[in-house]
Amino acid sequence: MTTAPSRRQLSTAGERRRTVLSTAVSAFAERGYFGTTTTDVAQRAGISQAYVYRLFPGKEALFAAVVEHCFALIRDSLDEGVAAVGGGSPEAVLDAMGDAYARLIADRNLLLLQLHAQCAAASEPAIAEVVRAGYARLVEYARGASGAAEADVQRFFATGMLCHLVVALDANRIEEPWARTLSGGLRHF
């Protein structure tokens, strides 16, 4: 009895693009925008550097796409928070979005990518534009979904930035006064 030869399933450019984006999150999270090359990303994705350039015109475009991907994941997590609470006061909605976001940044790669994106934004205008646009969408979403006052939305994002610091430093696991002060009352997963 003979078996039919197996046919290799080729992926589409869209599937490869998604693979490169998710792979690039970990590469850029590890070494940042300035320390990561397109060769690093290609090797992790199991493709050639030339193919990375076929999908993205350069490292800046790749990083910008990764940052946009990150913002999309954040938006999805905020959506999950809103859906979980099913309405309620602005504070309840923001709190549910905060819980969902805290779960999301338990993935250190996503957290580190955000930190690296903010650092790169300080000196790279194209990256700064992507980061600004991402935050603009998130702020407007949080404002609209929660109905919260301006000051409460600002506090929500300020707490998120503090969460970045606490998680990046593992301050929630350090038993020292400064760490307790920074991490007190914050949720960690």
User: For the segment 9-64, what is each residue's pLDDT rounded down to a tens digit?
Assistant: 546 778 888 889 999 999 999 999 999 999 999 999 988 999 999 999 999 999 99
Q: Are 96 and 82 in contact (CB under 8 A)?
A: yes
What is the DSSP annotation of the chain?
A: ---PPPPP-PPPHHHHHHHHHHHHHHHHHHHHHHH--HHHHHHHHTS-HHHHHHHSSSHHHHHHHHHHHHHHHHHHHHHHHHHHHTS--HHHHHHHHHHHHHHHTTSHHHHHHHHHHHHHHTT-HHHHHHHHHHHHHHHHHHHHHH---HHHHHHHHHHHHHHHHHHHHTGGG--SHHHHHHHTT----
127-155 burial, b if ≥16 CB within 10 A, otherwise e?
A: beebbeebeeebeebbbebbebeeeebee
Chain centroid to Cα 171, Å, comes to 20
What is the structure's pLDDT at 9? 53
Return the structure tokens found at 66.
């990764």
Q: Taking the CA atoms of 65, 163, 138 and 158 in sequence, report the sign of the dihedral they define.
A: negative
| pLDDT on residue 167 | 87
Give the chain's mean pLDDT.
91
pLDDT score, position 144: 97
Kindly tell me the burial class for residue 64, based on how many C-beta atoms sit within 10 Å of its own C-beta (0-12, 13-18, 19 or more): buried
pLDDT exceeds cutoff 60 at 121: yes
Percent of the chain with pLDDT over 90: 77
Q: What pLDDT score does 32 carry?
A: 96
For residue 140, give Cα distances in angstroms to 64, 87, 113, 145, 172.
Answer: 21, 17, 22, 8, 30
**152 within 8 A of 158, measured Cβ to Cβ:** no
Note the pLDDT of residue 12: 78
Q: Return the pLDDT at 3.
A: 54
